[in-house]
Amino acid sequence: MTFTIASTTVLSNGVEMPLLGLGTYKAVEGAEVEQEVLAALEAGYRSIDTASMYGNEAGIGRAVRASGIPRGELFLASKVWNDEQGYEETLAAFERSAERMGTDYLDLYLVHWPHAVLYAETWRAFEELYRQGRVRAIGVSNFLVPHLETLRAVAKIGPMVDQVEFHPRLQQPELQAYCGEHGIVVEAWAPLMRGRVFEEPVIVSIAGHHGVSPAQVTLRWLLQKGLVAIPKSVRPDRIRANADVFSFELSPEDVGRLDAMDTGERLGRHPDSWGLGQR
Ligand code: NDP
């Protein structure tokens, strides 16, 4: 498999989404996130993931403009937060995100977490934004199979992406199979297990064999599986290293060893733990 940093996956509506993007959760608004984004764009990243909840959309917008890279060459994604769900609320939340980022449109807009009551209204707003061309693709985040089933029962346009926690310890085979069947691209958050890949002996050993780091092994594994990965780092050396995953290839045996690490262990919240819409 020959990948480059420009490699994309094609969403169900034909839009191309870069396989490697930049995560920005906890990158602080202001100099920190601006420098992160500029370093990433310089290293060749063209896809940036944020959310209204991260509080750094404005800084990302400033960095994007400062880079001078034409908007059409970038893939910008944001998310509607839990307390912004509902039809009118979502339309207004989108306008706020777009304005903060200084862009007329987003390449991808995601529902951050599933809401048991408001999901249909939120999604109706997503479909409206999509029809109006304000977003090139629409998707969800943290939706498990039952959430996707419930949504698809009311959706006129199905989600094109599901961004979920995904790494060697949490591979969600049922969700992967469901998304594969329904043409939904799986995007991995916390792909580096928030740094814990460096403590996993199997990953460390594969990394040693290839002369690369455990982070590079894990990202390469995700790309070879056809998933989108959005590692986050605010350090330029790590940003560059996380994108340097195109000069080696994992063997089927390496992939098998990583696949065998799944224990279903979550580092972040379970999608139902918010109790959104449940009383
Ligand atoms: P990651 O798995 O990307 O890990 C990020 C952590 O690893 C940071 O502490 C970073 O530190 C460190 N790190 C990054 N690269 C390296 C490296 N090469 N060597 C050593 N340490 C490294 O976790 P995230 O939770 O950030 O997930 C990625 C992105 O996914 C988020 O930033 C966000 O965009 C998205 N996300 C979405 C969620 C959702 O609900 N939809 C939830 C959580 C995340 P440092 O910055 O100091 O380098």
Mutate to test the pocket of ligand 1, among 112, 166, 233 (most ligand atoms within 8 A of CB): 233
Tokens of 167: 């790494």
Q: In whole angstroms, how large is the CA radius of gyration of the chain?
A: 18
**Residues 6 or more apart whose Cβ sits within 8 Å of residue 107:** 15, 17, 47, 74, 75, 76, 77, 135, 136, 137
Burial of 148-178, coded b for 16+ CB within 10 Å and e otherwise, reads beebeeebeebbbbbbbbbbbbbbbeebbeb
* Among the listed residues 137, 85, 84, the one whose alpha carbon sits nearest the alpha carbon of residue 108: 137
**pLDDT higher than 70, residue 8:** yes
* pLDDT, tens digit, 9 for 90 and up, residues 175-227: 999 999 999 999 999 999 999 999 999 999 999 999 999 999 999 999 999 99
Tokens of 176: 């992967």
Ligand 1 touching residue 234 (CB < 6 A):
yes
Ligand 1 touching residue 86 (CB < 6 A):
no
Ligand 1 touching residue 170 (CB < 6 A):
no
* pLDDT, tens digit, 9 for 90 and up, residues 130-139: 999 999 999 9
190 Cα to the center of ligand 1, angstroms? 5
Ligand 1 touching residue 230 (CB < 6 A):
yes
Ligand 1 atom nearest to CA at 238: 18
**pLDDT higher than 90, residue 275:** no
* pLDDT, tens digit, 9 for 90 and up, residues 12-63: 999 999 999 999 999 999 999 999 999 999 999 999 999 999 999 999 999 9
d(Cα 107, Cα 136) in Å, to the nearest integer? Answer: 5
Ligand 1 atom nearest to CA at 113: 40
Mutate to test the pocket of ligand 1, among 192, 199, 266, 267 (most ligand atoms within 8 A of CB): 192
Work out whether the CA dihedral 22, 24, 29, 31 comes out positive or negative. Answer: negative
Ligand 1 touching residue 53 (CB < 6 A):
no
Ligand 1 touching residue 97 (CB < 6 A):
no
Q: Residue 110: its pLDDT value, please? A: 99
Residue written as token pair 């060459």: 73
Average pLDDT value over all residues in the chain? 97
**pLDDT higher than 80, residue 1:** no
DSSP bridge pairs for 139: 110
Work out whether the CA dihedral 10, 46, 37, 240 comes out positive or negative. Answer: positive
Percent helix / strand / coil, the chain, rounded to 5: 45, 15, 40
d(Cα 50, Cα 109) in Å, to the nearest integer? Answer: 10
d(Cα 214, Cα 220) in Å, to the nearest integer? Answer: 10
Ligand 1 touching residue 129 (CB < 6 A):
no
232 Cα to the center of ligand 1, angstroms? 4
**pLDDT higher than 60, residue 279:** no
Across the range 168-179, mean pLDDT stands at 98
Q: Residue 2: its pLDDT value, please? A: 84
Largest pairwise CA distance in the chain: 54
* pLDDT, tens digit, 9 for 90 and up, residues 67-78: 999 999 999 999
**pLDDT higher than 80, residue 278:** no
Q: Return the half-sphere exposure (C-beta side, CA atoms, 13 A cut-off) of residue 103.
A: 29
Across the range 226-241, mean pLDDT stands at 98
d(Cα 80, Cα 87) in Å, to the nearest integer? Answer: 11
d(Cα 40, Cα 48) in Å, to the nearest integer? Answer: 9
For ligand 1, atom 26, the nearest C-alpha belongs to: 232
Per the CB < 8 A criterion, the answer to whether 21 and 60 are in contact is no
| 87 classed as catalytic | no
215 Cα to the center of ligand 1, angstroms? 11
Q: Residue 277: its pLDDT value, please? A: 85
27 Cα to the center of ligand 1, angstroms? 9
H or E element in which residue 108 lies: strand 108-111
